[in-house]
Every structure is written in C-alpha cells, then in structure tokens.
Amino acid sequence: MKTVYWSEFIDEGSSYQFAAVDGKVCYIGGPKEGYAALEKWVGKQYPDAVLIESAEEMAPFVNEFEAYFTGEKKAFDMPIDPKGTPFQQKVWEALLEIPYGETRTYADIAARVGRPKAFRAVGTAIGANPILVVVPCHRVIAKDGGLGGFSAGLDVKRALHQVEGIQL
C-alpha cells in the first residue's frame, strides 16, 4: 500500500495542494480545486493508497514553491512524477523546457512534440497537467497572444505571469 503525503501552500489567500509519493511530487492543485480534487485525483491514480497530511514530509517542496512566489527561485529542483498518457508526458516534458519568464503557444508545443497540427490535443494535455506551476502550463498562450485557457482560472494564470514578469 502506497502512502501519499500531502500539504498545502497558501499565497495571498490562494491555496495550492501538494501531494508526493516516494519522495516525488505527483500533484499540485490550484486554488479553485481544493482538497476534494486532491482526494479524487489520488483515489484515481493510487486507489489503494493512504493519504496522510504531513507538513514535515512536504516542507522541502512547499518551501521551494514559496521561494518561486517570492522571486527567490526561478527554476524548480524538486523531483516530480506526473502521471499521464505517453502523449501527455511528452507535452509536459516540452512545457518543462519553457524558460522562466517566457511563453510559447499551443502550436509551438504541438510542433515541439512532433504533432504540429495537434494543438487542440496539446491544449487538452496541458489542461490535464497534474503538477501546476512546476510543470509550467501557465507559460503557454494562444497564437494571437491572448492568455488561452488555464485549469486553475485565468486570474491565477495572470498572477503567475506577474510573478515571472510576463507581459502580453
């Protein structure tokens, strides 16, 4: 039976839920999702797991996340283990290549993963990203320069852009 540790990070009233298995972050949920989404995600990915709240176990991850929000950290070092299909994995790996403070379009990511016409499928894969911020789906914008979508809400995407100095 797996143990999934979890904790929460709160920034200016917004909370992010963290989960880790075997010392790797597997989930970071956005402010609108809450604990219920974390619990549902864990139940789907690790049906026989025990979910245990542990600020101590999660402290290194939460501290690194906080350093990002305060501008002290521009790249994450935390080990991650996102669960998804092979196509989703490929898309998320492409997102990890987008530098801090820069953006790419859905079409750019589609081309990067070798499927230049699959920008809608790329958008769906990005929307399924289980590790918000660390896997920087917020850095993907529409081809016309607009924000595009964001599973945690456009207000959160704007806030993340502000942290990174991204101006559209």
pLDDT category, 101, cuts 50, 70, 90?
Answer: very high
The pLDDT, as a whole number, for residue 21 is 96
The pLDDT, as a whole number, for residue 1 is 85
Least confident of 6-15, 52-61, 62-71, 80-89: 6-15
What number of other Cβ atoms are within 10 A of residue 2's Cβ? 13
Range 40-59 burial, b when 16+ CB lie within 10 A, else e: ebbeebbeeeebeeeeebbe
* 12, pLDDT greater than 80: no
Chain Cα centroid distance, residue 134:
5
Q: Is position 26 annotated as part of the catalytic site?
A: no
pLDDT tens, position by position, 36-65: 999 999 999 999 999 999 999 999 999 999
pLDDT tens, position by position, 112-164: 999 999 989 999 999 999 999 999 999 999 999 999 888 888 998 999 999 99
Instruction: Give the H/E segment covering residue 33.
Output: none
- CATH number among 1.10.10.10, 3.30.530.20, 1.10.760.10, 1.10.510.10, domain 86-164: 1.10.10.10
pLDDT category, 111, cuts 50, 70, 90?
Answer: very high
In the set 95, 118, 137, 163, the catalytic residue is 137
